[in-house]
């Protein structure tokens, strides 16, 4: 043993520069991760410490009030759930069918199809406030829907539709071509191939993308302020009635001078977080449950 | 010096006919007495203006196994896809010349390509079962075509013909992706049989499989030949020799300027003839392993 060790060069580290560099970069990356993640944790913890005492039955089921102790957010919570349902109802069928057309039917040699493809990517990057202005002009005033839940749902649909299209296209593209060929080779028509093979195989991806888009829609404030999600609604919202949404309600509480309203705002933020995070949890569950190895 | 050694090593093999055992091949005269299923004349396939294959003329006869062999890029896979119009699915692909199927033009104006693909089934290079249960894989074809009769019987019959029934009969509801590669490929064969085709096209069906699975697929071809007409593309010459009655050798023709490469049919004859006494020098070089 000793004789072997004496002939071979020592393996004891004398820390050359490249090893130091190796360490420095690892620490730098770790630091960056803490900046990103730490900020989020501090925000969450602060919100929870401030708001948790105010997350009460009163908050969840009460009506808004000018007296902080009596104020609740039931109309806002309900309207947010309605908005979410409307967004799902409109954006999933339109988005998925658009994605199927672009992936399975569109001839990519044609300029108009390429134009649409490029612009869907661009639309996903348009700030939500722009959709708010558009919605105000065309949906609320233009076709005269008014400042109602339905209008809010349509505008949020516009906000997330490009995201739904892009994520559905990715899910459809991930289905291997060999599956399509196998189905065609058995005499299936294009529609049968898409409907019975491609779509079922891409549903986990489509569902994940749609839910993530939905949770973005539920958290949007700016376009809803634009189209008049008014702040004081002392009744349960209806599809064609005035409404406020949870993020708008939170925003308005933060503008109140009384410190008690700040606590309420934090409590409202907790409720919104719970709604959004549980949607994301469903998305992650679906992705892991139905993940496929080809 | 080296080349001389090579020749000495290989010439005895061709003299004794031991390049590959031609075990089951029929005589050409026997094959040609059977009905013509396909009759190909002056076929040319181009992808976006580049010719992939040209000047192909050959007949395929009923209840025989016909093999297409040749080096990669010779257009043999392109050619097999002409028989069920799978090239239609590739944007920019253009097929000219005629392919007659029982005397009818496969590329005629009134032809229903969906019906063609029902009658002319296909098995692909890589097993491609649908991400569904074993049962649903078989049932997919009959369902989309709206075929009558008991689905259970059809599934069992197809799996039996593909020699897979005994292995999967107790787990028909399990996912097909859980089967081994060889089982998946036999499932794909069963799936093709379920729609009652007349012809089965096989594009290198065993190239992704281990030797035991390959043997099973080859045995299966001998069985299926009784009821079906089989066309197989293979890069494995021994496989062609073992399973095929007729063999077509394709090669690559390089343009004078070296820019274009196109596949051509060099020689088409009984497998025995191709592997023992080929008429073309290029075929001889290929089957003796001197080229490709």
Do A180 and A241 form a contact (C-beta atoms < 8 A)? no
Residue listed under structure tokens 């349960």: A236
Do B185 and B127 form a contact (C-beta atoms < 8 A)? yes
In our burial notation (b when 16+ CB lie closer than 10 A, e otherwise), range A126-138 reads eebeebbebbbee
The reported pTM is 0.81
Mean pLDDT of chain B: 87
Any A CB within 8 A of B205 CB: no
Residue B2's pLDDT is 41
**B141 vs A184: CB contact, 8 Å cut-off?**
no
- Give, for all 294 residues of chain A, the pLDDT tens digit: 455 555 677 777 666 778 888 889 999 999 999 999 999 999 999 999 988 888 888 888 888 777 777 778 888 888 899 999 999 999 999 999 999 999 999 888 888 888 988 899 888 888 889 998 988 888 888 887 778 889 899 999 999 999 999 999 999 999 999 999 999 999 999 999 999 999 999 988 999 899 989 998 988 888 888 887 776 777 788 888 888 888 988 888 888 888 888 888 999 999 999 999 998 898 888 888 876 655
Any B CB within 8 A of A184 CB: yes
Chain B residues close to A181, C-beta within 8 Å: 86, 89, 124, 128
Q: Which of B82, B119, B144 is the mutation pick for testing A, counting most A CBs within 10 A?
A: B144
Q: Where are the beta strands (DSSP E) in chain A?
A: none
Do A166 and A189 form a contact (C-beta atoms < 8 A)? no
CA-nearest of B190, B127, B198 to B159 is B190
- Give the DSSP per-residue string, B16-80: TT-SS---SPPPHHHHHHSPEEEEEEEEEEEETTEEEEEEEEEEEETT-EEEEE-STTSSHHHHH
Any A CB within 8 A of B141 CB: yes
CA distances in angstroms from A156 to A136, A205, A243, listed in the order given: 12, 21, 14
Q: Which of B85, B86, B93, B131 is the mutation pick for testing A, counting most A CBs within 10 A?
A: B131
pLDDT tens-digit map of B196-206 = 999 999 999 98
Residue listed under structure tokens 């999933």: A92
CA distances in angstroms from B57 to A256, B79, B125, listed in the order given: 86, 11, 24
Do B33 and B64 form a contact (C-beta atoms < 8 A)? no
What does the alpha-carbon distance between residue B275 and residue A230 come to, in Å, rounded to a whole number?
Answer: 86
Give the tokens for residue B1: 């010096």
What residues form DSSP beta bridges with B69?
Answer: B249
What does the alpha-carbon distance between residue B19 and residue B17 come to, in Å, rounded to a whole number?
Answer: 6
Give the tokens for residue A56: 């009460």
Q: Decide which of B20 and A117 is more confident.
A: A117
Altogether, the residues listed in chain B come to a count of 292
**ipTM of predicted assembly, 2 dp:** 0.85
Residue B5's pLDDT is 41
* Gyration radius of chain B's alpha carbons: 20
């Amino acid at each position: 043993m000793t004789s072997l060790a004496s002939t071979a060069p020592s393996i004891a580290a004398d820390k050359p520069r490249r090893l130091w560099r190796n360490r420095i970069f690892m620490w730098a990356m770790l630091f960056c991760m803490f900046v990103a993640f730490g900020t989020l944790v501090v925000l969450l913890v602060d919100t929870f410490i401030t708001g948790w005492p105010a997350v009460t039955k009163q908050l969840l089921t009460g009506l808004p009030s000018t007296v902080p102790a009596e104020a609740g957010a039931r109309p806002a919570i309900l309207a947010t759930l309605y908005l979410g349902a409307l967004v799902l109802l409109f954006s999933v069928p339109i988005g998925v069918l658009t994605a199927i057309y672009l992936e399975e039917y569109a001839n990519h040699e044609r300029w108009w199809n390429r134009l649409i493809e490029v612009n869907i990517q661009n639309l996903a990057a348009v700030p939500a406030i722009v959709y708010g202005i558009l919605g105000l002009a065309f949906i609320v005033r233009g076709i005269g829907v008014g400042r109602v839940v339905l209008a809010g749902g349509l505008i949020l649909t516009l906000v997330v539709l490009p995201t739904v299209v892009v994520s559905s296209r990715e899910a459809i593209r991930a289905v291997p071509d060999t599956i399509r060929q196998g189905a065609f080779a058995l005499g299936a028509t294009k529609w049968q191939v898409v409907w019975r093979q491609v779509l079922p195989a891409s549903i986990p991806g489509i569902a994940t993308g749609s839910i993530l888009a939905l949770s973005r829609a539920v958290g949007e404030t700016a376009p809803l302020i634009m189209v008049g999600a008014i702040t004081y609604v002392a009744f349960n919202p209806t599809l064609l009635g005035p409404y406020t949404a949870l993020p708008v309600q939170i925003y308005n509480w933060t503008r109140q001078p009384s410190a008690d309203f700040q606590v309420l705002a934090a409590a409202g933020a907790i409720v919104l977080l719970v709604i959004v995070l549980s949607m994301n949890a469903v998305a992650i569950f679906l992705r892991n449950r139905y993940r496929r190895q080809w | 010096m080296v080349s001389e050694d090579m020749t000495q090593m290989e010439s005895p093999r061709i003299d004794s006919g031991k390049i590959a055992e031609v075990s089951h091949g029929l005589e050409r005269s026997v094959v040609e007495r059977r009905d013509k299923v396909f009759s190909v004349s002056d076929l040319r396939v181009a992808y976006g203006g580049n010719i992939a294959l040209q000047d192909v003329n050959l007949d395929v006869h009923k209840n025989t196994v016909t093999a297409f062999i040749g080096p990669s890029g010779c257009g043999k896979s392109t050619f097999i896809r002409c028989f069920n119009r799978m090239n239609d699915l590739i944007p920019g692909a253009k097929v000219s010349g005629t392919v007659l199927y029982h005397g009818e033009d496969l590329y005629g104006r009134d032809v229903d390509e969906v019906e063609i693909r029902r009658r002319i089934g296909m098995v692909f290079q890589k097993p491609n079962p649908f991400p569904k249960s074993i049962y649903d894989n078989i049932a997919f074809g009959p369902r989309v075509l709206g075929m009558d009769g008991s689905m259970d019987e059809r599934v069992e019959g197809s799996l039996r013909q593909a020699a897979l029934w005994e292995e999967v009969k107790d787990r028909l509801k399990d996912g097909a992706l859980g089967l081994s590669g060889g089982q998946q490929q036999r499932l794909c064969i069963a799936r093709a049989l379920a729609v009652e085709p007349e012809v089965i096209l096989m594009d290198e069906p065993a190239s992704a499989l281990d030797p035991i699975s390959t043997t099973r697929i080859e045995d299966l071809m001998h069985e299926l030949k009784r009821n079906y007409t089989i066309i197989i593309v293979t890069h494995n010459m021994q496989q062609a020799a073992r399973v095929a009655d007729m063999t077509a050798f394709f090669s690559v023709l390089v343009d004078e300027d070296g820019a274009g490469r196109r596949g051509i049919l060099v020689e088409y004859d009984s497998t025995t003839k191709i592997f023992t006494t080929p008429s073309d020098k290029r075929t001889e070089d290929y089957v003796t392993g001197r080229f490709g």
